[in-house]
Amino acid sequence: MIAGPQEIPAVLANEIQFGTAGATEVANADQKAAGVVMIATTVDYPFFWLYADKKYKTVQDLAGQTVGITAAGSSTDSAARLFLSHYGVLDKVKIAPAGGTQPSIFAAMSQGGIAAGILSPPVSDQAAKAGFVSLVDGVELGVPMNTSGVIVTRAYIQDHQDIVKRYLKAYQQGWTFLGDPANKTAAINVLAKYTKSDPATVEPGYEAALKVWKGSKTPAVHPEAVTNLVKLSDDPVVRATNPSDVIDNSLLQSIQ
């Protein structure tokens, strides 16, 4: 289990060979000639929810308040920018790191240190049970944005293409399995096991993700989802990133 912001450093150090990160993190890393590339998507919609104290009824009500994210430049940061921009309050709400993990964001919300936070399952479901309200559902919002995908280094692909293809074959099998509603019980049990949770807690997240898995037969990364993400960056170099610099769908296509 590795916190999101540490995925790319772990891949670059070869402590892990496959990681998960959003297009912004990949673009930021590649500015430093890291040679990281995304070879499959996890989800091409922001798989995040904006949860807030129940006294806030709309996103606009958060004006003057703080929304917690894991880290600047992270996928949670991009999701916060997208949500707040969509509702016209990006310049009225402060976005601040809150401890580096989803549980730490939730803890800050629970302690009253921040009004809202960008969360994903199962922590988002914990927030709902604690009485916080969902103001934005990133999947339902329907704006393509790549906040998570499978990443490797280009050097690793060059030296271990067979392994990468075998990984992608397994990943495609998993994607297909999860996208079949007939496998719901098995899928939920797997998700509960690996998130160290329980079936009731992960079911809402599964139902949300099912829309993604059913919506595309393959986990190819969509260029529009990359463009929509990087344009939210404060860095003009990142904003100008060409999707082809960040993604490579060719290996996934080759194993179909």
Q: Give yes or no for residue 155 having a pLDDT over 80.
A: yes
For residue 30, name the pLDDT band (cuts at 50, 70, 90).
confident
Query: How confident is the model at residue 142, as a pLDDT?
Result: 87
Query: How confident is the model at residue 218, as a pLDDT?
Result: 95
Lowest mean pLDDT segment, chosen from 165-169, 233-237, 239-243, 251-255: 233-237
What average pLDDT does the segment 227-235 reach? 83
**Residue boundaries of the structural domains of the chain:** 4-42+145-254, 49-141
For residue 59, name the pLDDT band (cuts at 50, 70, 90).
very high
Query: How confident is the model at residue 96, as a pLDDT?
Result: 97
Query: How confident is the model at residue 46, as a pLDDT?
Result: 87
Mean pLDDT over the full length of the chain: 92
What average pLDDT does the segment 109-119 reach? 96
Q: Which CATH superfamily is domain 4-42+145-254 in?
A: Periplasmic binding protein-like II (3.40.190.10)
Evaluate the omega torsion of the peptide bond into residue 9 and state whether it is cis, within 30 degrees of 0: no
Query: How confident is the model at residue 254, as a pLDDT?
Result: 96
Query: How confident is the model at residue 172, as a pLDDT?
Result: 97
Query: How confident is the model at residue 176, as a pLDDT?
Result: 96
Helix axes 199-215, 184-194, angle to 10 degrees: 120
Q: Give yes or no for residue 27 having a pLDDT over 90.
A: no
Per-residue pLDDT reduced to its tens digit, 118-134 = 998 888 988 999 999 99
Q: Give yes or no for residue 187 having a pLDDT over 90.
A: yes
Instruction: Write out the chain in H/E/C secondary structure.
Output: CCCHHHHHHHHHCCCCCCEEECHHHHHHHHCCCCCEEEEEEEECCCCCEEEECCCCCCHHHHCCCEEEECCCCCHHHHHHHHHHHHCCCCCCCEEEECCCCHHHHHHHHHCCCCCEEEECCCHHHHHHHCCCEEEEEHHHHCCCCCCEEEEEEHHHHHHCHHHHHHHHHHHHHHHHHHCCHHHHHHHHHHHHHHCCCCHHHHHHHHHHHHHHHHHCCCCCCCHHHHHHHHCCCCCHHHHCCCHHHHECCHHHHHCC
Query: How confident is the model at residue 240, as a pLDDT?
Result: 85
* One fold for 4-42+145-254 and 49-141: yes
Q: How far apart, in Å, are the Cα atoms of 208 and each of 54, 182, 234?
A: 22, 16, 30
In CATH, what is the architecture of 49-141? 3-Layer(aba) Sandwich (3.40)
